[in-house]
Amino acid sequence: MCGIAGVVRLREGCPAPSLDQLERMAASLRHRGPDEFGVYRDHHAGLAHARLSIIDLTTGQQPMTNEDGSWWVVFNGEIFNYVELRQELQAAGHVFRTRSDTEVILHAWEQWGEHAFWRFNGQFAIALWNAREQTLVLARDWAGVRPLYVCEHDGSLYFASEVKAIFSAEPSIPRAFDPAGFEETFTFWTIVPPRSVFRGIYEIEPGHVRVIGRGHVRDRAFRSLQFPVNGEPGFRGSIDDAAEQVRSVLEDATRLRMVRADVPVGSYLSGGLDSSLVAAMGWRAKGDRFRTFSLRFDDAEYDETGYQREMVALLGSEHAEVMVTREDIARAFPDVVLHTERPILRTAPTPLFLLSRLVRDAGMKVVLTGEGADEVFAGYDLFREAKVRRFWARHPQSACRPRLIERLYPYLARSPVAQQAMSRRFFGKDLHRASEPGFSHAMRWNTTSALQRLFAPGFRRSSPPGSVVDELVARLPAEFASWSPLAQDQYLEIRTLLSGYLLSSQGDRMLMAHSVEGRFPFLDVRVLDLANSLPPDFKLRVLDEKHVLKRAAQRLVPQSILRRKKQPYRAPDALAFVAPGARGWVEELLSEGAVRDAGVFDPGAVGALWAKCKERSGTGQYSNTDNMALVGVLSTQLLHHQLVRSVPAPGPAVRLRTRVERLAG
């Protein structure tokens, strides 16, 4: 895992990228790649790389070039099938000088062009540069595991793994919030690529390749989500056949992520099905001295220690755990926001920030995690909720059908189904829209959108016309309407939350904050293709989520974990900030002057929210809305302080291991 960055001149007359620029960009990404640094520079472009050495520790330095020096690459991520691709490329006549997956990218590009990215089974952000043709190629994996931002400014294009590297490259790049990015965040819980929350800065969309040449830009998808259409059979076989295939493909995906590394690989272990299954398969691939890492909470509502320790006892793994308190969350939260580079509505990333520090302190660089299982195998309560509401919508006057909502959200202390009359009114809204796109997510989006009442009037008016929901619906693929309702729901969940929140705020950014690479077997392209081909009732059987995955996990995971009620990962939100020890910096950021300076929220509304949260600190009774509102406002204020008012210093100058300059002639 690494950090990549670069600058490309888009028009004549612009200065060539300076060595100082490239070194600043690399230094700002030091946390992503502390092991070594390299740059390439010519008259038209510069590439920078900060490396976390995991594969081919001795000869895999970047930037790397092909045999004739025509193409250069910087690369963040892993291509897990690089050994197989290398053999195929060697048979086609390509000669290799290293054992790295980076060199495979170069030869694969030469051999297959843009189709190479479709053939990669991995997690990656890639930049390829050809000085002769003055062509830049940028590509990002299908799920958006690895980030990649671009910005055009004053005749040059800047790209980087993180926004702070772009800001550090050129002080004249405007640093301002984009209201449309905030409207997305306070609707979908996150921004949806290609948008960011910074004006003029965009993400390369997951599964896309962008080619920027002399006077032209081409952007296209090389891999997109596909599901069976119009009820046509995808997977042909029984539920038992499917479970066997899921187990086999997932086991190989886990094995690849264990063996394709020249450093030890451990595993996160939450105590739920997904991480327990991945840990079990990782242990089978590794054998002895397998390491696992877990979070504990001193708030019993969030703690899963008993299940974690049961799994540790079964595996016999070398286990480490970190206890997280409300005070720990408040203390680490500013650092978390600096790494997320976006507002967040939950504190849940913060304990994961602390967990990755535990991994790094243990001397580990790589861990497996269970992220992606809920999206790929339909594990979220939202999918069950949508199924119940569609069933109810067929007979809206039924007295029995709405009783099914009582089976939702059993883990919440303040569950929305606790009071029957209120829950029927809440979940019974808009049942006549059951066949419309976005029906599954509309309740969540509407609830989150209500937080926009906190926006300052001037900030709201500066947002472009139209709804971000309408914009999202307008961009749905043509075949969306021909998919099953569950497939539609899965698509929307992946499109809105997977890369922008789960894999960013809770995944890549929290791991790489402490130079740890996360690997995600459930996001293997073979697992994805198999899962998407399955009939809906294999994944969501009646209201049993991830049904086929539970069958696949038999004999690998204890029955207590297989049968337990789903408990999504959560952490204390408002409770973490109302304690006296945290109030000092929180009060400062939420003061009228600070809120007015940021310009996003109305100072009066923020003051009323903060007063309400302090008033309830004794009881700890916060609504879901109050929790999200406080965390969203506080993270925005931090982001303004950290990346708009100022740019964090990149730290000590980097020492370049690789430096190539082609400025003669």
Q: Output the CA angle 70-73-77, nearest 5 degrees.
A: 160
Q: In which domain, by residue range, is 467 found?
A: 381-484
Backbone angles phi, psi at 267, to 5 degrees: -150, 140
Contact 339, 356 (CB under 8 A): no
Question: Is there a cis peptide before residue 63, judged by omega within 30 degrees of 0?
Answer: yes
Say whether both 544 and 605 belong to one domain: no
The answer to whether position 191 is within a domain reads yes
Mean pLDDT score, 295-319 = 94
| pLDDT tens-digit series, residues 327-341 | 999 999 999 999 999
pTM reported for the whole predicted model = 0.95
Residues 304 and 218 in one domain: no
Q: What's residue 418's pLDDT?
A: 53
Q: In the prediction, which pLDDT does 617 show?
A: 82
Q: Is residue 664 part of a domain?
A: no
Same domain, 217 and 165: yes
Last residue of a domain, one of 535, 563, 591: 563
List beta partners, residue 50. Answer: 3, 37
Confidence (pLDDT) at 637: 98
Contact 510, 336 (CB under 8 A): yes
**Structural domain includes residue 653:** no
Q: Which carries the bigger pLDDT value, residue 567 or residue 442?
A: 442
Find where tokens 């509407």 sit: 446
* Percent of the chain whose predicted confidence (pLDDT) is above 70: 97
Q: Is residue 402's pLDDT more than 90?
A: no
Look over the chain and give the mean of its residue pLDDT values, rounded to a whole number: 92
Cα angle value 342/367/271 (rounded, 5°)? 90
* Pair 40, 158 in one domain: yes
Domain end point (choices 171, 197, 223) = 223
User: Same domain, yes or no, for 371 and 421?
Assistant: no
Is 552 within a domain? Answer: yes
Q: What is the spatial distance between Cα 444 and Cα 13, in angstroms, rounded to a whole number?
A: 50
pLDDT digits (tens, 9 = 90+) for 600-647: 999 999 999 999 999 988 787 889 999 999 999 999 999 999 999 987
Residue 101 neighbours by CB distance under 10 Å: 26
The verdict on 355 and 397 lying in the same domain is: no
Residue 589 lies in a domain: yes
Q: Is residue 568 part of a domain?
A: no
Q: Give catalytic residue positions.
A: 2
- Residues 169, 200: one domain? yes
Same domain, 150 and 123: yes
Tell me the CATH number at 178: 3.60.20.10
Q: Are residues 366 and 290 in the same domain?
A: yes
428 and 304 within one domain = no
| Lateral strand order in the sheet of 201-203 | 201-203, 149-153, 156-160, 2-9, 45-51, 36-42, 656-662
Of residues 622 and 581, more confidently modeled: 622
Domain count, the chain: 4
Which range in 374-388, 395-409, 564-578 is most confidently predicted, on average pLDDT?
374-388
Residue 233 forms part of a structural domain: no
Q: Which residues are CB-neighbours of 96 under 8 A, at least 6 positions away?
A: 86, 89, 90, 103, 104, 107
Lowest mean pLDDT among 57-61, 213-217, 439-443, 537-541: 57-61
CATH number, residue 327: 3.40.50.620
Q: How confident is the model at residue 230 (pLDDT cuts 50, 70, 90)?
A: confident
What local confidence, expressed as pLDDT, does residue 416 receive? 56
Does a cis peptide bond (omega within 30 degrees of 0) precede residue 147?
A: no
- Domain match, 364 and 385 both: no
Domain identity same for 59 and 94: yes
pLDDT interval class at 665 (50, 70, 90): very low
Torsion of CA 380, 383, 385, 386, to 10 degrees: 160
Average pLDDT for 164-192: 95
Cα separations in angstroms, 624 against 104, 446, 571, 621, 628: 48, 13, 12, 10, 6
Separation of alpha carbons 338 and 11, rounded Å: 33
Is residue 406 included in any domain, yes or no? yes
